[in-house]
Structures are given as structure tokens and as C-alpha cells.
Structure 1
């Protein structure tokens, strides 16, 4: 009789541990959802000219969830400036458009890089406020060089990630 009770307790304990592991993994997975969109635009010859437009088309089906918008920019350590100004134009599915000038900070006043440095590369990320998309459909994000220079060198790519 004692052996039977001990086996039942062991089975209950195993089940309890299993349930805790399953619940914990469900909670961690739901908190780390994958990006709904993650693309980069590569620049030829590591240069971004004013005539070169990075275009991202995003299909949106959910207008309820808040989305995080993350802009990434990869440059080399030879990039000459402490920031980069770009224009971001957004066209919504209904044809409405908006345009904003955005400064991407790349280096501190002392010259140290703000982003993640790996070898000769610097990856800078800029996170925007969370917000939902207002309507379903295809959104087009266009990004252009807004500096006074016709061509900005040492720029490898720009990316858009939406989580």
C-alpha cells in the first residue's frame, strides 16, 4: 500500500513539473513573437545617393495590435558624420500619404559609436513609438537620403522591422 502511494506521489510530482515547464514555455514564447515584417535594402558600392530610394511594402491584416517600428542602418566605421537625415514617406492603402524628416543618431559628441560595432561595421537602430496600423492593406514605406550631400558614402543598408 505504501509503495502504491509513493508511486502516485511520484506521478503527481512528474505531472506538476511537466505542467510548470509547459506553462513557462508558453509564456516565454508568447512574449517573444516574431516580427511581422523584417527587410533590408542594400546600397550599391556602400553609397546612398539622393536618387536611390529604399522601398518597403508591408501587408497589414491586423489593425488592433500595437506595433513597434524599428529602423536599422548599417554603416562602416569610416562614415564621416555623427548622424544621418532621411525622409520617410508612408503611403497607406487608401492612398493617403505622410512625409517626415528623421535624424538617425550614429555617434556621440566624443566620436564613439552609438550602435553595435562588429569589426569595421556599425549597426544603429532607432525604435519608434508603438502604434497600430489604422487600416488593413498594403503600406508603402519609402526612405531617401535627406542630407545636403548628393551621395553619402560608407552606408551599407537600411532596414525596417515591424514587431
Structure 2
């Protein structure tokens, strides 16, 4: 009988420890870091997008989080406009569609420790294979805030 009592206390104790973190008060919750999720224009970058070297087949997506000038220059076959990577991070990606296309919307959204970069690309009724390059220059990403690219190609 003693063995059952000791086992029962051990189980109840383990359950109490396992749920202890859920019994926090409002003041004890961990705050999510705030982040200025605004997109800054890059003067002259649109003119350099034809030099963006990424080769992407239709239906594929190549995305990059760029934090240094060396990484930025490595993506282009020409010299792109300068960016101050001490203040900014560049989110850039490419896909290819089997028709013409245009970027209809871009948005940054923060959800605690994640940053979502959402892009909508609208296809046109042409039969031309066309790349679509999307990018957002954002304030320097803090450590631990990992961007997620969510790119949707609409018919």
C-alpha cells in the first residue's frame, strides 16, 4: 500500500511541476519584442533587377535574407545601388511564371519571434515566361527574428 501512495504522490508532483509554467500571472508573461515592420524603398534597385542572377524554374521560389554588402553584390551580375546594412536587412526573392506577371501587394507582419514577408503576384493572360523579383528593405532584423517568405502566385 505504501508503494501506491508514494507513486501517486510522485505522479501528482510531476503533474504540478509540468503545469507550473502555465500558471503565470499577467505580469510574468514574456513580452514579444517589437519590430518596426515597414518597407523602405531602394532608389535605383528596380533598374538593377535584370542583373539579379538567381535562376528559377517555373513554380520554384528562391529567397534570401541579406545582411552584408558582400552577400548583396554576390546576387547581382552588375553593381546594385548601395544599401547601409548596419541599418537595414534586404529580403529578396525570385520566381518564374509561365505568363506575364506583376506584384500586386507586399506586406510585413510580425508575430512575436517571427516576421512574415507576404507577396502576391498576379499572372497576366500572356504566354511569355517571365521572372518576378520581389524585395523589401526593412530595418535591421534583431537576432532571433527570423523572416518567413510567403509568396503566392495568383491566376
Q: Do Structure 1 and Structure 2 share a fold, with TM-score over 0.5?
A: no
TM-score (norm 2): 0.31
Which has a greater percent of strand?
Answer: 1
Between 1 and 2, higher relative CO (CA 8 Å, sep ≥ 6) is seen in 1
